[in-house]
């Protein structure tokens, strides 16, 4: 028997083998996928044939850009989560290799104690899922990650927090200061809609994500409309060293409205005098860890 606290700690302190500031959402995405299976009333069992599809989709959509092949990107967490003591495979295969996983259609699953603790305690599932998305993604993306993993974001994101006292305190004034500094308009498209006297649909965005040590400082913030905030956090939009907007070549749109995103490519940020612009090291972090692949050609 595993207690709620033990399971929570095991699943939210996965060994990620990564340097500080590098994103490594592979194992957390696999755990979320397993939680999705459990909430649908099944077991956490995931045959490689399915994992290869679903896990590599999740990694491609929500992970940093990578030159690693799709199957290979899924094979890393599928074999390596074993070393965290929570994941077992139906056959003892070497780490990282796609071949043996495919030829035996190896089945992975959470270990029996962890799985039974999760199955009898839906609240525990919610708390683990919430902790994992909050550790690895910004709030703009968390609901998309949960949905793609087969979980219900409305349910999960209302679960009680895992760490009652955050290690880092948020600066409550930061959002208001960023909106003010950018004249309460989107730094990319200039949208500045108001409803009555209230600005609506413009948000303060972190360039380097809060979850990855991005500070609540003026040089790590941009005011962005909700659409461009989301596209920026997904890595469809980025910034170059000269603070010109870049559009990822992976982004496509077909309608006139969708294609207005292409028009942003190469456009400079135009802060009002005195507004701090995003610092180069935060922009570089976003380009390395978030931006999807190559920008459009100019």
The minimum distance between CB 264 and Zn ion, in angstroms, equals 8
The structure tokens 């809609």 sit at 193
> Does residue number 189 form part of the binding site for Zn ion (CB under 5 A)?
yes
- Strand segments (E) across the chain: 46-47, 87-89, 107-110, 194-195, 198-199, 202-206, 221-225, 237-239, 245-247
Q: Please, which residue, 228 or 265, has the CB nearer to Zn ion?
A: 228
Asked if 243 and 278 count as a contact pair (C-beta separation under 8 A), the reply is yes
The owner of tokens 């962005």 is: 224
Q: Applying CB under 5 A, does 142 fall inside the site for Zn ion?
A: no
Distances from the Cα of 143 to the Cαs of 129, 192, 255, in angstroms? 11, 25, 25
Q: Is 191 in the site for Zn ion (CB under 5 A)?
A: yes
CB atoms within 10 A of CB 275: 19
Phi, psi of 58 (to 5 degrees): -60, -45
Toward Zn ion, which CB reaches closer, 182 or 188?
188
Tokens 């990855």 correspond to what residue? 212
Q: Cβ 296 to Zn ion, closest distance in Å?
A: 17
- Among residues 101, 110, 149, 186, the one that binds Zn ion under rule CB under 5 A: 186
User: For residue 252, how many other CB atoms are within 10 A of its CB?
Assistant: 11
Rounded Cα distance, 207 and 219, in Å = 9
- Using the rule CB under 5 A, give the single segment among 153-161, 175-183, 189-197, 268-276 that binds Zn ion: 189-197
Q: For the chain, give the number of residues.
A: 298
Site residues for Zn ion, 121-140, by CB under 5 A, read: none
CA angle 189, 248, 293 (to 5 degrees): 150
Nearer to Zn ion, 208 or 228 (CB): 228
The distance of closest approach from Cβ of residue 269 to Zn ion in the complex, given in angstroms and rounded to an integer, is 12
Q: Is 109 in the site for Zn ion (CB under 5 A)?
A: no
CB of 184 to Zn ion, least distance (A): 12
Q: Which two tokens stand for residue 256?
A: 């006139």
Shortest Å distance, C-beta 256 to Zn ion = 16
Minimum CB distance to Zn ion smaller for 149 or for 186: 186
Question: Binders of Zn ion: how many residues, by CB under 5 A?
Answer: 6
- Closer residue to Zn ion, CB minimum distance, 191 or 285: 191
| Nearer to Zn ion among residue 136 and residue 230 (C-beta) | 230
Contacting Zn ion within 203-262 (CB under 5 A): 225, 228
188 binds Zn ion (CB under 5 A): yes
Tell me: does residue 51 bind Zn ion (CB under 5 A).
no
Smallest distance from Zn ion to CB 237, Å = 9
Q: Closest distance between Zn ion and the C-beta of residue 231, in Å?
A: 9
- C-alpha–C-alpha distance, residues 75 and 96, integer Å: 5
With a CB cutoff of 8 Å and minimum separation 6, the contacts of 48 are 78, 101, 102, 105, 106, 107, 108
| Segment lying near Zn ion (by CB under 5 A), choices 44-52, 92-100, 190-198, 266-274 | 190-198
The residues that touch Zn ion, with contacts defined as CB under 5 A, are 186, 188-189, 191, 225, 228
């Amino acid at each position: 028997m595993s207690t709620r606290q033990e399971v929570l700690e095991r699943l939210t302190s996965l060994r990620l083998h990564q340097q500080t500031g590098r994103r490594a959402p592979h194992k957390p995405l696999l755990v979320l996928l397993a939680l999705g299976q459990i909430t649908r009333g099944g077991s956490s069992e995931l045959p490689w044939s399915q994992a290869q599809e679903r896990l590599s989709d999740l990694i491609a959509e929500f992970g940093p850009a990578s030159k690693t092949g799709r199957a290979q990107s899924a094979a890393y967490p599928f074999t390596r989560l074993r070393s965290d003591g929570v994941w077992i495979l139906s056959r003892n295969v070497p780490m990282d290799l796609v071949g043996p996983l495919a030829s035996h259609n190896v089945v992975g699953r959470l270990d029996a104690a962890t799985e039974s603790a999760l199955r009898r305690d839906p609240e525990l599932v919610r708390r683990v899922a919430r902790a994992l998305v909050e550790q690895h993604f910004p709030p703009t993306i968390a609901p998309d990650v949960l949905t793609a993993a087969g979980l219900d974001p409305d349910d999960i994101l209302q679960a009680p927090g895992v760490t009652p006292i955050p290690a880092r305190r948020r600066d409550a004034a930061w959002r208001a200061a960023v909106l003010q500094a950018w004249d309460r308009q989107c730094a990319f498209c200039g949208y500045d809609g108001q409803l009555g006297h209230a600005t609506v649909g413009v948000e303060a965005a972190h360039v380097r994500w809060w979850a990855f040590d991005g500070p609540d400082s003026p040089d790590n913030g941009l005011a962005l409309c909700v659409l461009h905030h989301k596209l920026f956090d997904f890595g469809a939009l980025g910034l170059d060293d000269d603070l010109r907007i870049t559009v990822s070549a992976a982004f496509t749109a077909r309608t006139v409205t969708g294609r207005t995103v292409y028009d942003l490519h190469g456009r400079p940020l135009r802060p009002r005098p005195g507004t701090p612009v995003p610092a180069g090291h935060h922009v570089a972090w976003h380009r390395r860890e978030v931006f999807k692949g190559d920008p459009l050609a100019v």
